[in-house]
Amino acid sequence: MNAVSTQRRYRSVFISDVHLGTRGCKADFLLDFLRVVESDNLYLVGDIVDGWRLRKHWYWPQSHNDVLQKLLRKARKGVNVVFIPGNHDEFARSYTDHEFGAVKVMFEATHVAADGRTYLVMHGDQFDGVIQYAKWLAHLGDWAYTTALALNHWFNVARKRLGLPYWSLSKYLKHKVKNAVSFIADFENAMAEVARQRGVDGIVCGHIHHAEIRDVDGILYCNDGDWVESCTALVEHFDGRMEILDWTILRTFDPLGAYEHARTQPSGPVTVPEATRPEPAPVENTQACASSSFPMLGRLRSMVSSARS
């Protein structure tokens, strides 16, 4: 990775859909982002850890550990770090309204920007009908998405040998397939309507892996994208202005090389400093809770395996 010449500083940073625990996660890119970018507020807007995939197959290389350590370090140094679990890390929703290692766990949050505008911050899966009413179909879609990423890798291996640039199959499908385009538009409109009902000026979310800022009938809709394909983040400048950062473009990184690197990484245990392991909050499944002394980050394997499907 290329050397860092200057640090970037923003008032707030929003990231989501990192999917730690999967081979598609661009953990090295995110680590570079977290080292270069400083902020007063850092919102983790869901699907930071992919419990769905970890329950099926344990994959946890050192780079994924390093991401967790970096996030905890930022919180210890005074950054306001807020974790809002999504559907893939829903196991952490039992611990909302608690702090772990100075990281606040919340179901949703209200962010007041520097210009006075208020934003509702949530992952967004609550307004995805497939997640709410046909979870088996959501798991099937997750499998299909993972398969598409693997196919996309080998397709781009061939393109690279032919001297052609990287090309994302899933991004193409999102923009060209009629049903996918309709789903994205419906999701954006639904999220904007939620913000309107709550009496806020805008909404920040993730979930659909499609970074965008647009005005929806007077509501500023902001989606921070993902760290599986696009490697994007939403940032708030000190004047309140919102912007999407595309880290692969800003840092000229190679997504194909990152995926190839991830495929060869050995898996290992999750390690979290002892000082960041408070007692977990009480939940319905007390037996599972007793086996996990740090619900959000530490001893992640036992948490994921004991979470309800």
Q: What is the mean pLDDT of the chain?
A: 78
Question: Does residue 169 form part of some domain?
Answer: yes
**What is the pLDDT averaged over residues 294-301?**
48
**Does pLDDT of 131 surpass 90?**
no
**What is the pLDDT averaged over residues 297-303?**
52
The strand pair at 80-83 and 98-100 is best described as unpaired
CATH number at residue 260: 3.60.21.10
Contact present, 84 and 41 (Cβ < 8 Å): no
Question: Does residue 4 form part of some domain?
Answer: no
3-state helix, strand, coil in the chain (%, to 5): 40, 20, 40
pLDDT confidence tier of residue 133, bands split at 50, 70 and 90: very low
Question: Does residue 258 form part of some domain?
Answer: yes
Domain that holds residue 299: 9-306
- Phi, psi (degrees; rounded to nearest 5) at 29: -65, -45
Question: Does residue 264 form part of some domain?
Answer: yes
E-only strand ranges, the chain? 8-15, 37-44, 80-83, 98-100, 103-105, 109-112, 118-121, 202-205, 212-216, 219-223, 232-236, 242-246
- The pLDDT tens digits for 72-88 are 999 999 999 999 999 99
Six token digits for residue 275:
């000082």
**Does pLDDT of 144 surpass 90?**
no
Residue 100's pLDDT is 85
Q: Taking each helix axis from N to C terminus, what angle separates 62-76 and 27-36, rounded to the nearest 10 degrees?
A: 20
- The pLDDT tens digits for 39-81 are 999 999 999 999 988 988 889 999 999 999 999 999 999 999 9
**Does pLDDT of 288 surpass 50?**
no
Residue 176's pLDDT is 54
Residue with tokens 């005005």: 215
**Does pLDDT of 223 surpass 60?**
yes
Residue with tokens 């960041």: 276
**Does pLDDT of 24 surpass 60?**
yes
Count of domains observed in the chain: 1
**Does pLDDT of 125 surpass 50?**
yes
Question: Does residue 1 form part of some domain?
Answer: no
Question: Does residue 2 form part of some domain?
Answer: no
More reliable by pLDDT, 112 or 146: 112
**What is the pLDDT averaged over residues 108-129?**
92
